[in-house]
Amino acid sequence: MLGDLDGNRARAAQAIATAASAGAQLVVLPELVSTGYALADVAQAQELGEPADGPTVSGWRALSDAHGIVVIGGFCELDADGTPRNSAAVVCPGAPVTVYRKTHLWDRERLTFTAGDEAPPVLDTPVGRVGVAICYDALFPEVMRGLAIAGAELIAVPMNSPLEGPPTVPLPVEIVSALAAAYANRVIVAQADRCGPERGIDWAGASVICDPDGRLAAGPLPDRARTGLLTACLCLADARDKRLGPRNDVLADRRLDLYATQTPTIETKENVT
């Protein structure tokens, strides 16, 4: 819920504990799970935000250590200068926390947050090599392919995907995009979307786990407006095999000599109100 810091932290902690009790080794939480998404402006983000060693991530640190699981979740970070960042923390048992700051800001996020300037990371975790992208980041094929090239076996995507217009059928386009990214890069994609209305925003209900063959391993939830837990038993090592068959490999078959000549210069105009 928007602005309910204690309640949001408690709900996230309960979700982590429930997932751990179900045997999960890695848990992905939504984008900006600590504060809610529809922050009014920079001032509200500064009021509700916290540093990377604040109570939200510290709580995840304690739960990660207690349950021996990897926790990845989005939070409103205040950097050393007090600047709001749309960030994700990767918390592994007994290891330093890694924080990634969203590099592709969506719509009015540009009025609230400052974009990160470091590429999404790929990290060695107890379950395998894990990459991170936050919501709109994942729409860019360059991001997902870059994470795959860097060795990601699973890409975690905390997200808050606003529903704009009627949902696409048979699946929300955000799920189709995740399936395509999983298949095109032969990786696992685990994305966690928000649920419930917030300041007039509804959500796409795009929480899914996709296997490296581009198939749904779990999700979507039957009611996109309600909270739920998705689980899947997948072997991250399967994502190391980039072959599509005896003669094709999604990374080895790239024609880099051709792609370099296909990068045009495009001028765009920004229209932010």
Domain with residue 85: its CATH number is 3.60.110.10
Residue 268 lies in a domain: no
Does 174 fall in a domain?
Answer: yes
CA distances for 93 relative to 12, 63, 130, 232, angstroms: 17, 9, 14, 21
Among 192, 124, 187, CA closest to 153: 187
Per the structure, the complete domain to which residue 166 belongs is given by: 5-262
271 domain residue, yes or no: no
Residue 267 belongs to a domain: no
Cα–Cα distance for residue pair 34/76, rounded to 1 Å: 7
Q: String of b and e for 49-83 (b: at least 16 CB within 10 Å)?
A: bbebebebbbbbbebbeebebbbbbbbbbbbeeee
Show the DSSP H helices in the chain as ranges. Answer: 5-21, 42-48, 55-67, 141-149, 173-185, 256-259
Active-site residues: which are they? 31, 102, 135
> What's the pLDDT at 152?
98
pLDDT of residue 273: 42
Within-domain flag for 269: no
pLDDT given for residue 264 in this prediction: 63
Distance CA 28, CA 183 (A): 20
Which DSSP state fits 138?
A: G
Q: What pTM did the predictor assign?
A: 0.94
60, 113, 130 from 108: Cα distances, Å: 28, 9, 29
* Cα–Cα distances in angstroms (integers) from residue 202 to residues 12, 168, 229, in the given order: 20, 14, 19
Residue 143 and residue 157 in contact, taking contact as beta carbons nearer than 8 Å:
no
pLDDT confidence of residue 272? 45
Residue 273: inside a domain, yes or no? no
pLDDT in the model for residue 267: 60
- Please give the sequence-ordered ranges of beta strands (E in DSSP) within the chain, or none if there are none: 26-28, 70-78, 84-91, 98-101, 122-125, 128-132, 154-158, 188-192, 208-210, 216-218, 243-245, 248-249
The residue among 139, 182, 142, 136 whose CA lies nearest residue 161 is 136
Please give the tally of structural domains in the chain: 1
- Supply the pLDDT for residue 167: 81
Alpha-helical segments (H) within 68-122: none
Query: Could you say which DSSP state residue 145 is in?
Result: H
How many residues are listed for the chain in this entry?
Answer: 273
What are the residue ranges in the chain where pLDDT is below 50? Answer: 271-273
